[in-house]
Amino acid sequence: MPWSRARILEEAEKCAYCGFCEAACPTLPYGRHRGYGPRGRVALSGHLAAGGQASSEVLVSLYTCLTCAACTLKCPAGIDIPSLVRAARSLVAAAPHKKRII
Amino acid sequence: MPSNPKRLLEDLKSLLGRNKVIEDEAIVRLYSREPSGLESPALAVVFPETTGDVSRLAKYAYSHDLRLFPQGSSTSLSGSAVPLDEGVVVTFEHMNRVREISVVDSITVVEPGVRIDELNLELAGKGYMFPVDPASSAVATVGGAINSGAGGMRSAKYGTMRDWVLGLEIVLPDEHGSVLRLGCRTLKCRQGYDLVRLIVGSEGTLAMVTEAVLKIAPLPEQVVVALAFYPELRDVAEAVVAVKEQGVQPYIMEFMDDRTVEAAAKTVEVSVEASGHMFLVGVDVNREAAERTASWLSRTLSSAGATRLYVAGTVNEAEERGFFTLRRSLLPAQMRVAREITGSPRTLVYIGDIAVPPSKLVDAVEELRSLEAKYGLFTMIGGHIGDGNLHPAVGLDPRNKEQARRVEEWYLEVMELALKLGGTISSEHGIGLLKREGLRREFQHLGSEKALELMKGLKRLFDPKGVLNPGKVV
């Protein structure tokens, strides 16, 4: 079942920002900033669902996720991060013009 | 606040290089919040890669009245790392090299962005460890731990960051961006006033740390672990006394109260029968002494009234049998229960960080429970019983103003009760924004208000223009 914006927001809001997920992420060490890790991707998914702009940095963050789910095993809030990222990507794909998601 | 943010960003890019500055609003926001729930926007994030970068930045900030907010991995629970005043976040995540490990000298030299668990992985290959182990060690950086004065489960035996930092390279926020090297790479060091320990725990308000010389310790040969459950709080206290009276200094001594155990057991799969107050103790031993220690621990904990007792001869065995599962589930359990109570996904967990003399732990837990009734806040209590450090936690929905007000009052009263019992308001999380009033009360309680003035004077001496992490600590 596709995720609604409300569900993406709700899932992203569960994040306590503890960062425990980051140690498991295979892409974070190779990225330029926190957006290349799960903590950043959860926040950026929420940002898109709230109508935030899909800047190139935001898109690169979301599309470099391998959806391997290593982070989910570490998440104290039990967020299904790969599904959240996929849902955020689908928001981008469904946007009438790709630069702005409103 | 800079009058021309666009010009500022261009200046920073020419100062550091374009790839070391991020202004994308969504990405900057990732560096503008922390688990305490506090959030405040910054203008940009910069990623220095060398001490030279940090020095140029400090010099520029001094001459342009720019505010800088040094940051590790934003795991502060006290508001130490959140930016204010529309400044620039300085993250050290790209300064993350272990420069040297010397077993002969018992030291390692590291950059501030090294994560503690990563450092320990490298050290383990040589049979050594860095003993300070905050619960966030998988993500926490050495620089963040230095600045927050972090501790952890092993603090009862090994102390906190202030006991393990031998030397520092720091950058001052002055007209030169001065680089100073403080302390030594020897275990003994009497270098006049101890500026190293002044920086440790200063929460990025005095200087920016760009390198650290840390002491390291040999990995224990073997650790015997016991997990016990007691019907009464006083039984746990008796168990602690019984262990200590034998002249044993355990490697870890952890505690969770009965209702927290119950909540944790609903959060994670637990392979032991968990009910009552939890006492987890580990004793490091020579391999030959393991069996004798296991049977001594077993006898001692049973005599103190344990209703359930599990003993493992090694850490591996304890891991396989799930002895650490309950203790590690403290944060997830606190979050799950908090969300259940508020009924909101947007739930924050306020975590206290008091310490009382271990002889007063029972009184502290009983008083915490009476505060729960007073404020109507379900309180989960766990902590490091070996050093008297407790982390009582309550949840709140920040949109519920009435609840937020009650939590703030509760938070202050928790600190008051620690003072009343001869303890302190903050053990290992720092002061940040959330405990400034607590710090004032602690000095008031000690009749030493002037200490705050001395601290403010030190801040002016190191940072006359208030460039670094303003609004924090004092």
pLDDT of B231 above 90 = yes
**pLDDT confidence of A79, banded at 50, 70, 90?**
very high
In chain B, residues under CATH classification 3.30.70.2190 are 222-328
Q: Which fold has domain B222-328?
A: Alpha-Beta Plaits (3.30.70)
CA distance B374 to B376: 6
A 10 A CB-CB count for B446 gives 11
Q: How far does the CA of residue B136 sit from the closest CA of chain A (Å)? A: 7
Report whether A53 contacts B26 (CB < 8 A): yes
Q: Which of B22, B26, B73 sits opposite A19 (nearest CB)?
A: B73
**Residue A35, CA distances (Å) to A23, B27, B31, B181, B389 in order:** 14, 7, 10, 33, 34
pLDDT tens digits for range B399-452: 889 988 999 999 999 999 999 999 999 999 999 999 999 999 999 999 999 999
Q: Within 10 A of B376 (CB to CB), how many other CB atoms are there?
A: 10
Distance CA B404, CA B350 (A): 10
* HSE value, Cβ hemisphere, 13 Å, CA-based, for B278: 33
Q: What is the DSSP string of B391-442?
A: --EEEE-TT-HHHHHHHHHHHHHHHHHHHHTT-BSBSSS--TTTTHHHHHHH
Separation between Cα atoms, residue B94 and residue B90, nearest integer Å: 11
Tokens standing for residue B59: 């010099």
Containing B337, the helix (H) or strand (E) segment is: helix B330-342
For B279-301, what is the mean pLDDT?
A: 95
Environment class of residue B163 by beta-carbon count within 10 Å: exposed (0-12), middle (13-18) or buried (19+)?
Answer: middle
Architecture of domain B5-93: 2-Layer Sandwich (3.30)
Q: Is B227 left (phi over 0), alpha (psi -120 to 50) or beta?
A: beta
- Chain B hits for A44, CB-CB cut-off 8 Å, are 26, 30
Q: For residue B101, what pLDDT is reported?
A: 98
A18, A44, A84: best to mutate for the B interface, most B CBs within 10 A: A18
pLDDT digits (tens, 9 = 90+) for B343-397: 887 788 889 999 999 889 889 999 999 999 999 998 989 999 889 999 999 988 8
- Residue B51: name the closest of B207, B171, B206, B185 by CA: B171
Q: Which of A15, A27, A34 to mutate to test the interface with B (most CBs of B within 10 A)?
A: A34
- Mean pLDDT computed over A83-101: 81
Instruction: Give chain A positions within 8 Å (CB) of B332.
Output: 76-78
Calpha distance B129→B119 (Å, rounded): 8
Nearest CB neighbour to A52, from listed B26, B35, B75 = B26
- For residue B155 the two structure tokens come to 């603090």
Min Cα separation A86/chain B (Å): 18
CB-CB: which of B75, B115, B346 is closest to A18?
B75
Task: Kindly report the number of other CB atoms within 10 A of residue B290's CB atom.
Answer: 17
The tens digit of pLDDT for each residue in B185-229 reads 999 999 999 999 999 999 999 999 999 999 999 999 999 999 999
pLDDT grade, residue B334 (50/70/90)?
confident
Quote the Cα angle for B348-B349-B350, to 5°: 115
Helix (H/G/I), strand (E/B), else coil: B80: coil
CB-based burial, A5-23: b 16+ in 10 Å, e otherwise = beebbbbbbbbbbbbbbbb
CA gap A54, A68 in Å, rounded: 23
Output the furthest CA–CA distance in chain A (Å, rounded).
Answer: 36
DSSP summary character for residue B141: B
- Mean residue pLDDT of chain A comes to 91
**By the CB < 8 Å criterion, does A73 face chain B?**
no
Angle, CA of B111, B112 and B113, to the nearest 5°: 95
CA separation for the pair B50, B98 (Å, rounded): 14
Q: In Å, how far is A48's CA from the nearest CA of chain B?
A: 9
Q: Number of CB pairs < 8 Å for A and B?
A: 83
Q: What pLDDT is recorded for position A102? A: 43
Residue B238 confidence class, pLDDT cut points 50, 70, 90: confident
Amino acid at B404: A
> Predicted confidence band at A98 (pLDDT cuts at 50, 70, 90)?
low
Contact B471, B433 (CB under 8 A): yes
CB atoms within 10 A of CB B97: 13
Name the pLDDT band for A77 (thresholds 50, 70, 90). Answer: confident
Residue of A nearest to B75 (CA): A18
The predicted model scores a pTM of 0.94
Measured CA to CA, the distance from residue B390 to residue B369 in angstroms comes to 13
Domain with CATH 3.30.70.2740 in chain B: 330-460
Q: Which residue is closest to A31 within chain B, CA to CA?
A: B94
Distance of CA B249 to the CA centre of its chain: 22
- Residue A64 sits at the vertex; the CA angle it makes with B140 and B137, to the nearest 5 degrees, is 10
In the DSSP assignment, the letter for residue B360 is G
pLDDT band for A96, please (50, 70, 90 cuts). Answer: low
Q: Which residues of B touch A43 (CB under 8 A)?
A: 29-30
Task: Please provide the distance, in angstroms rounded to a whole number, between the alpha carbons at the two ends of chain B.
Answer: 21
Residue of chain B nearest A22, judged by CA positions: B139
Q: Is the pLDDT of residue B286 over 60?
A: yes
Distance separating alpha carbons of residues B7 and A94, to the nearest angstrom: 36
SS3 B33: strand
Contact at CB, B30 and A77, closer than 8 angstroms:
no
Give the chain B residue nearest A48 (alpha carbons): B26
Kindly report the CATH class assigned to A5-94.
mainly alpha
Asked if the Cβ–Cβ distance from A11 to B345 is below 8 Å, we say: yes
Contact A22, B73 (CB under 8 A): yes
In this predicted structure, what is the pLDDT of residue B350?
Answer: 87
Mean of the per-residue pLDDT values for chain B? 93
Domain covering B330-460 assigned CATH 3.30.70.2740 in the classification: yes
Q: Is B128 helix (H, G, I), strand (E, B) or coil?
A: strand
B98-218: CATH topology: 3.30.465
Using the structure block, give the residue that is written with the tokens 């003035």: B453
Write out chain B residues lying below 8 Å of A22, CB-based. Answer: 73, 138-139
3-state secondary structure at position B385: coil
State the ipTM, two decimals: 0.94
| Helix axes A5-13 and A81-94, enclosed angle (nearest 10) | 140
Report yes or no: A18 at the B interface, CB cutoff 8 Å. yes
Give the lowest-confidence range in A55-69, B117-131, B236-250.
B236-250
Contacts of A55 (CB under 8 A, 6+ apart): B24, B25, B26, B27
- In whole angstroms, what is the distance from residue A65 CA to residue A46 CA? 16
Query: C-alpha angle B332/B336/B338, rounded to 5°?
Result: 115
